[in-house]
Amino acid sequence: MGVEIRFTDREFPVSAVFIDFLYRHLNGHAFDTTWHDQLSEELAGGGPQARESANAHVAEVLAHRDGQRIIYRSYQLLSAFLTGAPEELRNFHERYKFICVVGVPRHGGSYLTKELFRALGIDYRTVPNVIAHDGFPDASPFDFAQGYNAYTNMMQNMAEYLAMVEEYFADSRLFRNRVVVPKKATKAAYHGAFFERALGPEAEYIVTLRHPVPACISTYEKSTGLPPSGRFAVRGNIEEWVRRDNVYTGVRENAVFDQDYFELFLRYWEHYHYNLVLTGLRRNASWTLATYGRERFEGLAQELHARFRSMQRPEAFQVFDSRSRHPEWMKKAEPVVLRVRDVWRTTGIEFPLDEVMEAW
């Protein structure tokens, strides 16, 4: 018995982010490059602006010979993911070395990603959000709705990202016979094994760690402040991820906004760190742990500059002391941090407890 299954771009439409990238790239227009600002960074994810740009320019991109070529390449890679054709990824694994910065948002990942680009001699101010930052490829706990499957969406996003990498870094210099591609990849924690196989055995992972209390403070400050009631609220991307992840770990959806803000964030922080070591990213042993702190981050950045023979010095890493602001949160956080340490030990990684407990 033979069964023929056909899909078209109606079932797998090109993403708005991809179309926006191609339109700007093919026409030499400026990209959205706001990802690197440590204090006012926005999580890049292709919001309304990308969709508006895609709607306005999709016909032009599809009519362009190079636009067709790059889109076709993304569908080749999507087919490889869907059907299990690892030979289609061999070129990426032989030509590119991905260095991914992975960690909870507001853990310093943008700074280290920026310093990676600087160490490579790339002006980070010109690097598109979609190339550098963590909104794309999208990865999340599984969801399933009309016209949407989180797994196939992740695969198509990754295929489009790799097609963009191939185009954007086409003329980049080589280091030890490979093009080095920095990427802030917060979402790799959700499906570590997929990222590990997609990006290949030469990939490296810089895992950023920070105490949950200052991370929570930084999160609510980014979202206009702690709600006066102390209850949870969603005002931005990070808080939406906190809401979603808590629902997937047992908090009733209609009760989320009755919960204490910090307790929900703390639960999100805890489970994210379990995901880091339990979803398959540990298959790749090339991990560097980076615990939040000025000297540690600037020191790691200096090591990256030396490794890639950069003549520049790291830019200053901005750190603010918020340790005295919520003493009651510190007490709630301690047993959670200890649980994370214990789970990490089961996978052979020693969680840097003393450094994290400095609470920068």
Q: Domain limits of the chain?
A: 9-35+46-208+286-320, 211-284+321-359
pLDDT value, residue 50: 67
Per residue in 16-60, pLDDT (tens digit) is 999 999 999 999 998 888 887 755 544 444 566 767 777 888 889
Share of the chain above pLDDT 70, in %: 96
- Residue 216: CB atoms within 10 A of its CB come to 27
Share of the chain above pLDDT 90, in %: 88
Tokens of 321: 């002391």
**Residue 173 clears pLDDT 90, i.e. is over it:** yes
Tokens of 94: 């032989």
pLDDT value, residue 45: 46
**Residue 207 clears pLDDT 80, i.e. is over it:** yes
- HSE-CB for 314 with a 13 A CA cutoff: 24
pLDDT value, residue 43: 44
If one compares 52 and 344, the residue with the highest pLDDT of the two is 344
User: For the purposes of burial, counting CB atoms within 10 Å of the CB of 27, is it exposed (0-12), middle (13-18) or buried (19 or more)?
Assistant: exposed
User: 160 and 18 in contact (C-beta within 8 Å)?
Assistant: yes
Tokens of 103: 């960690």
DSSP letter string, 136-164: SS---S--EETTEEHHHHHHHHHHHHHHH
pLDDT value, residue 44: 42
pLDDT value, residue 155: 98
Alpha-carbon 262 to chain mean position: 23
pTM: 0.93
DSSP letter string, 271-291: HHHHHHHHSSGGGS--EEEEE
pLDDT value, residue 48: 67
Per residue in 175-204, pLDDT (tens digit) is 999 999 999 999 999 999 999 999 999 999
pLDDT value, residue 4: 86
Per residue in 94-153, pLDDT (tens digit) is 999 999 999 999 999 999 999 999 999 999 999 999 999 988 999 999 999 999 999 999
pLDDT value, residue 57: 84
CB contact set of 277 (below 8 Å; sequence gap of 6+): 343, 344, 347, 349
pLDDT value, residue 33: 82
